[in-house]
Amino acid sequence: MVALGMNSSVAFLSFLYITCVVSASWRPTPAPEPNSLVSSPNPEANSPEPSPATLADSPETQLPPTAEGLFDVTDYGAEPDGETETSSAFLEAWNAACSHNGDSTFYIPEGTFLLGPVSITGPCHNNQPPKIVIKGTLMAPPNLSAFPDTNWIVFQDLHGINISGGNGEVPNIDAQGEVEAWKRNSCSKSEKCNKLITSLRFNNVSLGTISNIAVSNSKGFHVAFLDCDNINVYNVSISSPGDSPNTDGIHVGMSTNINITSSNIGAGDDCISIGPGSRNISVSDVKCGPGHGISIGSLGKYTDEEDVVGINVRNCTITGTQNGVRVKTWPGAPASHASNFMFTDIVMINVSNPIIIDQEYCPSNSCKSTSEPSLVKLSNIHFKNISGTYNTESGVTLICSSGVPCENIHLIDINLNPTEPETPREGRFNVKGVVNGLEILNSSF
């Protein structure tokens, strides 16, 4: 059954259960304001603005470390020669700074430090961890055999963490993934893949800032937040080649109140991926590319996943990526909910799939079953003021579940043009599955 009503300003689809290709070259006259339409709820009301993370001391106002409370890793035996392994010296300096009775700074001076796997753990004295100031370059061991598990640098059980490159040149944290890790089997090409090493992993960390650092050439994810709350990430640069496998820029899972802003991210996978259990996540002023875009998901790969609620992506530029903004769930996924997403004020430059919902996400045919529909319920998703160019047949692709409908999908002020214009239409709009409430206002794609 298809119910399609269209006037000069509004296209509305309801209870759609088809696979179709619809010309989307119409250019309607401006529509009434959404709050004047009973069927068009105010997007801002449906997606609460994430409250910004509380800042610890800002690096812009941070004074240079002084001898009082300063714990310099070179004082504990770390050699900045790029050849001597320094993890034991780093841990000794951290333990001293963490147990210090008073304000303290864990300090990594200029130079290059070869650092093996290390865990920076708390809680610290009075539950107040040291400031972490990085001036030098950190290099990971190039070979996977140096890593007993899937992490390089772990920050765990810390409240009030502040990690910064300080003022001046931004220090680099280089995992050297190109030496060995990227040459192994990739999870994007095979269901079985070698272990992926996350460069910076934050577990049970709260009330913190990470700023003015660069993370590059990860063996797996560059940065991951798991079970974290109230974290501000800004002025961070993440870089690896577009063909480096499984190198997500920033991954967020089981976390709340994470704010990522004013950063440049280029990787071989998602620039930012937001996984199950994420709530109140804000992404703004991010430049993404190369990579797979900014993604919510994948969702539904495992049983008992927690819901995803309140994601706000705005004022971003996405260039030369496989996808633009994306929501992805696995076929056969067990029941869960993902709702209240806002994607606003985004520029796409030569992107393959600018706007895509994919509830049949199955990389490398690695799904246990492709015949069972995803049971992840997607609702209240707003795409607003998105413009730019795309290099495929479709500017907008909605692949919704045949088991539970996508509900309340809004496309408002979308202006996407193919890099090779078609005649007579400008592009194509692909819809598959069940959609209950699709609104299109003032859009062409």
Q: Residue 427, exposed/middle/buried by CB under 10 A (0-12, 13-18, 19+)?
A: buried
Residue with tokens 């991926």: 273
Give whole-number Cα distances, 329 to 302, 356, 358, 400, in Å: 11, 12, 6, 9
Q: What is the DSSP letter of 43?
A: H
β-pairing, 294-299 with 272-274?
parallel
The gap from C-alpha 426 to its chain's centroid, in whole angstroms, comes to 30
Which tokens go with 287? 């430049």
Are the CB atoms for 14 and 437 separated by under 8 Å?
yes
Give whole-number Cα distances, 205 to 116, 231, 275, 297, in Å: 22, 8, 17, 22
Task: State the Cα torsion 404-406-407-412 to the nearest 10°.
Answer: 180
Are the CB atoms for 235 and 258 separated by under 8 Å?
no
Span between the terminal Cα atoms of the chain, in Å: 25
Which tokens go with 268? 């071989």
Coil/strand/helix, residue 395: strand
Q: Which of 100, 222, 292, 382 is catalytic?
A: 292
In sequence order, the β-bridge partners of residue 46 are none
Residue 290: cis peptide before it, omega within 30 degrees of 0: yes
Residue with tokens 């991951």: 224
248 catalytic? Reply is no
The gap from C-alpha 98 to its chain's centroid, in whole angstroms, comes to 30
Closest by Cα among 150, 142, 288, 276 to 221: 150
Are the CB atoms for 40 and 11 separated by under 8 Å?
no
125 catalytic? Reply is no
* Nearest-angstrom CA–CA distance, 330 and 294: 17
Collect all residues with Cβ–Cβ distance below 8 Å to 407 and sequence separation of at least 6.
377, 378, 379, 380, 435, 436, 437
Q: Which of 174, 248, 269, 358 is catalytic?
A: 269
Give whole-number Cα distances, 424 to 24, 126, 389, 420, 427, in Å: 11, 69, 17, 12, 9
In sequence order, the β-bridge partners of residue 10 are 441
Sequence length of the chain is 445
**Catalytic residues, which ones?**
269, 292
